[in-house]
Amino acid sequence: MRDFYEVLGLTKEASASDIKKAYRRLAMEHHPDRNAGDSESEEKFKEASNAYKVLSDSNQRARYDQYGHSGLGRGGGGFEGFRGTEDIFSAFGDLFGDFFGGQRSRGPRPGADLQVPLKLSFAEAVAGCSKEIEVTRQILCDDCTGTGAAEGSKPINCTQCKGSGQVVHSQGFFMIQTACAACKGEGRVIKDKCKTCAGVGTNAESGTLTATVPAGVDRGQTLRLAGKGEASPGGGRPGHLYVILDIAEDERFIREGENVLVEVSISYLQACLGAEIEVDTLEEMCTGKDTLEVKPGTQPGDAIVERGKGIPIVGGRGRGDLVYQFTVEIPTKLNSTERDLLKKLADESGLDVGDGKRGFFDRLKR
């Protein structure tokens, strides 16, 4: 992937105004309406639009300046380039209106985008999974195939705006362009409406879609199912379905980005003498087990770091770390044998200690 500043013919010192002017020049040069059927111009149009998308956003530009293309995957959201010209027109529609004097490319309006929530377990987020999603959306009417017209008829150009979808009004010295009221900006009208969809061209349908969730996703991140939103009457591109992820917590694992902290409780004897203990891992859908060596003299707060055994990095390579941090349990009750042994140890160490029994005030608190 080429450097975004190089794509726009700029340096890193370019101002926001410089970036917009450079993109305007390239967008006009390679605009699909001016280069019909030219795949090379279409690729240059998308390349310039991807560069402008990043460099026109101050936060994304700062990450790009510091880390390059790899920095655009930081912070959870990641960067997803435009897949086609319709995506670009959808994102920068108002901008193209400015570029071309308000004359925007005519064509069917794209279908509406939809959002649905998706709940995942902690293990599903770590390992990735496929999930079924129930969604209700507008699909093209089977009877009229989206035209909105009854069988044997078809939409006709609006006589009010001559099919442009816009009308111009004179107001003093000014000419004001607005959407045509007769056709609601569509440029066409339906005289004989389809009885199934009442001329709308779409009908609501409930169904199930499959979302493929990559390993390592986090709460609040979004998956885009391209073209799985609502249909566009008239043959425009369908909208997209955005899946908003909600991740359940797991009391064993504390997630911090791609790293995971596990608190491991050991006895004071294990801390003093050392031991081998069984701990949980993220493998096998978070049901994996491993053996951890506790070294003699382990202190509360000491940690063992397992490199590369944490959360997978979405869209990248490798994994975070799995950190086991020790807490030491001090017994609140001792039997007579334990007290005698500890008292003997204290005497040999020359320590002045109590007898390990409850005092008068301790008994009052019970």
State the alpha helices, DSSP H only, in the chain: 4-8, 16-30, 39-55, 58-67, 85-91, 93-99, 122-127, 268-273, 283-286, 336-349, 360-365
Domain CATH for 285: 2.60.260.20
What is each CA distance from 92 to 20, 58, 89, 233, 279, in whole angstroms?
12, 17, 5, 22, 52
In this structure, the chain runs to a length of 366
Q: Which residues pair with 134 in a beta bridge?
A: 208
Beta strands in 109-201 (DSSP E): 114-120, 129-140, 156-157, 166-171, 174-179, 188-189
Model confidence at 87, pLDDT cuts 50, 70, 90, reads low
DSSP of 343-366:
HHHHHHHT-----S---HHHHHH-
Q: Supply φ then ψ for residue 125, to 5 degrees.
A: -70, -40
Model confidence at 152, pLDDT cuts 50, 70, 90, reads confident
Whether pLDDT at 3 is above 70: yes
Domain assignment present for residue 185? The answer is no
Average pLDDT over residues 277-305: 97
Domain assignment present for residue 137? The answer is no
Domain boundary among 80, 106, 132: 106
Domain assignment present for residue 306? The answer is yes
The 10s digit of each residue's pLDDT in 165-198 is: 888 876 656 667 788 888 888 888 999 999 999 9
Which residues have C-beta within 8 Å of that of residue 228, sequence separation ≥ 6?
Answer: 114, 135, 137, 209, 238, 240, 241
- pTM for the whole structure: 0.62
Domain assignment present for residue 89? The answer is yes
pLDDT of residue 76: 44
Residues 40 and 46 sit within 8 Å (Cβ to Cβ): no
Domain assignment present for residue 5? The answer is yes
Can you give the residue range of the structural domain that contains 330?
254-365
pLDDT of residue 97: 52
Domain assignment present for residue 229? The answer is no
Percent of the chain with pLDDT over 90: 49
What is each CA distance from 138 to 88, 135, 202, in whole angstroms?
23, 10, 6
Domain boundary among 75, 106, 137: 106
Domain assignment present for residue 190? The answer is no
Domain boundary among 106, 130, 160: 106
Domain assignment present for residue 29? The answer is yes
Domain CATH for 38: 1.10.287.110
**Total domains present in the chain:** 2
